[in-house]
């Protein structure tokens, strides 16, 4: 596997991301796990699953999740049922899917009422694919990921056998090929640039929302497809972690941590960094050092051949953090696969991994995140790491070794 990154454009003088190879690899992974799960056909609504299986996309998650769907027969090529004129565009611009793209007949998040029976056209789409591939709907298992109530009721009442399609897709997506990994590396590089811009921008009187705008603009400028979440948390809001941004004004001495989730070529980022408005106090530096210790322990433990249970040994228990149960601190010391989905298999957490260890394998890519807090100060760090044949490669490069003071050099 190639270390580092290359240019983000396609050129004639270097071999870069091979999207045809990536598409072939992803469909092959799906078919492999359809075999293992004994699923004859997949019905996919979730955005990442449609991107992974069909290499198609639209601009809005709201349109994407329930306005369009993919149907993947095990013995045939993926089909995409798109949003109106999307289909005409795909016939022009997406030669790999031009013969299997059709208009969708969804229920628009229930905005098309059940009594209108719009689901009947959806069932006709499904039946068309099944019949064209010699599949008897009364004898096959159809794997479904996420679905609206109208659709699931129509499937049940129509006599279809429903199975777990999300399990198929999560296992398929868990091991990335070199092209997927390069997409993730490019996304991480964009996030590094956004954090640099943030470090230059922080000053008293800015709102958390202002920093969201600065980061989003920089990432779109550099090629981000969707900026899904720039979560900015400052001052007393950093402890406990609220998992939410606000319009709070940043003040001198505030800690500020940020989580950046965006898409580049369909692949997510999930990266936290922490800053201080002005020079941090020793107490703030100490909290940062604790969080960095947890972060380093997790990153050092991730390697091929170990289990997710091994990784969590370096993270504090809920009781050490001042809570009663692991559920109360879930997500604070945490790792998750990352790819076309934000949260991918396997998950790394004391809540699950000790009882359900999963082997870490080459080609997995994780986002590993930790937290430490005391009083009114909390620190959050997160990195993305690729598992290689011999070890790991950390692909997020913006520094974490020290707590960076910003915006007050008088």
Residue 256 belongs to a domain = yes
What letter does residue 372 receive in the DSSP assignment? E
CB 165 within 8 A of CB 42: yes
What pLDDT, on a 0 to 100 scale, did the predictor assign at position 210? 98
Out of 106-120, 199-213, 340-354, 361-375, least confident range: 106-120
What pLDDT, on a 0 to 100 scale, did the predictor assign at position 275? 99
Residue 322 belongs to a domain = yes
Looking up tokens 């229930």 gives 110
Residue 52 belongs to a domain = yes
CATH of the domain at 154: 3.40.350.10
276 and 161 in one domain?
no
Looking up tokens 């601190």 gives 329
Query: Which of the listed residues 173, 196, 226 is the one where a domain comes to its end?
Result: 173
Asked if the model's pLDDT at residue 62 lies above 80, the reply is: no
Cα–Cα distance measured from residue 250 to residue 63, given in angstroms and rounded to the nearest whole number: 35
159 and 217 in one domain?
no
User: Using one digit for the tens of pLDDT, what is the confidence trace for 153-175?
Assistant: 999 999 999 999 999 999 999 99
Beta bridge partners of 18: none
Residue 7 belongs to a domain = no
Determine what percent of the chain is predicted with pLDDT higher than 90. Answer: 92
> Taking the CA of residue 162 as centre, how many other CA atoms within 13 Å lie in the half-sphere pointing to its CB?
16
300 and 361 in one domain?
yes
pTM: predicted TM-score of the whole model, two decimal places? 0.96
Mean pLDDT of 219-227: 96
CB 330 within 8 A of CB 356: no
Give the chain's domain count.
2
Using alpha carbons, select from 380, 332, 334, 329 the residue that is nearest to residue 353: 334
Mean pLDDT of 261-268: 97
Asked if the model's pLDDT at residue 1 lies above 80, the reply is: no
218 and 154 in one domain?
no
CB 175 within 8 A of CB 345: no
Cα–Cα distance measured from residue 279 to residue 289, given in angstroms and rounded to the nearest whole number: 15
Query: Which of the listed residues 139, 173, 207 is the one where a domain comes to its end?
Result: 173
97 and 81 in one domain?
yes
155 and 182 in one domain?
no
User: Using one digit for the tens of pLDDT, what is the confidence trace for 6-33?
Assistant: 998 889 899 999 999 999 999 999 999 9
163 and 237 in one domain?
no
Give the residue with greater pLDDT, 227 vs 66: 227
280 and 169 in one domain?
no
353 and 240 in one domain?
yes
User: Using one digit for the tens of pLDDT, what is the confidence trace for 352-402?
Assistant: 999 999 999 999 999 999 999 999 999 999 999 999 999 999 999 999 999
Domain of 390 in residue numbering reads as 178-406
222 and 129 in one domain?
no
Residue 9 belongs to a domain = no
Query: Which of the listed residues 173, 203, 224 is the one where a domain comes to its end?
Result: 173
82 and 129 in one domain?
yes
CATH of the domain at 372: 3.90.230.10
Which residues are within 8 A (CB) of 128 and not within 5 positions of it... i.e. 6 or more apart?
Answer: none
Out of 7-11, 279-283, 302-306, 350-354, least confident range: 7-11
226 and 147 in one domain?
no
Confidence bin at 410 (pLDDT 50/70/90): low
User: How far apart, in Å, are the Cα atoms of 174 and each of 12, 117, 202, 342, 359?
Assistant: 31, 37, 37, 12, 12
């Amino acid at each position: 596997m190639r270390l580092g990154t290359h240019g983000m454009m396609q050129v004639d003088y270097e071999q870069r991301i091979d999207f045809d190879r990536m598409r072939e690899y992803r469909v092959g992974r799906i078919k492999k796990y359809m075999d293992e799960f004994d699923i004859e056909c997949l019905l996919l609504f979730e955005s990442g699953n449609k991107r992974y299986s069909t290499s198609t996309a639209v601009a809005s998650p709201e349109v994407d999740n329930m306005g369009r769907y993919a149907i993947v027969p095990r013995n045939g090529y993926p089909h995409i049922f798109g949003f109106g004129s999307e289909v005409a565009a795909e016939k022009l611009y997406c030669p790999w899917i031009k013969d299997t793209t059709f208009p969708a007949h969804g229920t628009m998040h229930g905005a098309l009422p059940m009594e209108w029976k719009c689901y009947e056209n959806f069932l006709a789409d499904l039946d068309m694919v099944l019949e064209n591939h010699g599949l008897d709907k009364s004898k096959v298992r159809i794997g479904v990921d996420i679905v609206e109530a109208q659709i699931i009721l129509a499937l049940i009442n129509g006599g279809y056998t429903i199975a777990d399609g999300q399990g198929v897709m999560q296992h398929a997506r868990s091991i990335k090929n070199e092209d997927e990994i390069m997409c993730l590396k490019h996304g991480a590089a964009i996030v590094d640039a956004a954090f640099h811009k943030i470090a230059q921008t922080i000053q008293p009187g800015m709102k958390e929302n202002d920093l969201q705008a600065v980061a989003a603009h920089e990432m779109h400028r550099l090629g981000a497809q969707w900026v899904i979440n720039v979560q900015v948390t400052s001052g007393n809001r950093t402890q406990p972690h609220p998992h939410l941004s606000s319009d709070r004004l940043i003040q001198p001495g505030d800690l500020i941590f940020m989580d950046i989730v965006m898409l580049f070529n369909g692949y997510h980022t999930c990266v936290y960094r922490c800053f201080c408005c002005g020079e941090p106090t020793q107490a703030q530096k100490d909290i940062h050092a604790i969080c960095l210790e947890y972060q380093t322990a997790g990153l050092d433990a991730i390697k091929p051949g170990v289990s997710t249970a091994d990784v969590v040994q370096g993270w504090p228990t809920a009781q050490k953090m001042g809570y009663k149960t692991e559920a109360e601190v879930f997500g604070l010391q945490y790792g998750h696969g990352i790819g076309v989905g934000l949260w991918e298999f396997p998950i790394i957490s004391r809540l699950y991994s000790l009882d359900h260890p999963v082997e870490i394998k080459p080609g997995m890519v994780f986002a590993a995140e930790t937290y430490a807090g005391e009083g009114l100060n909390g620190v959050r760090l997160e990195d993305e790491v690729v598992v290689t044949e011999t070890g790991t490669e950390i692909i997020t490069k913006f520094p974490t070794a020290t707590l960076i003071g910003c915006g007050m050099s008088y």
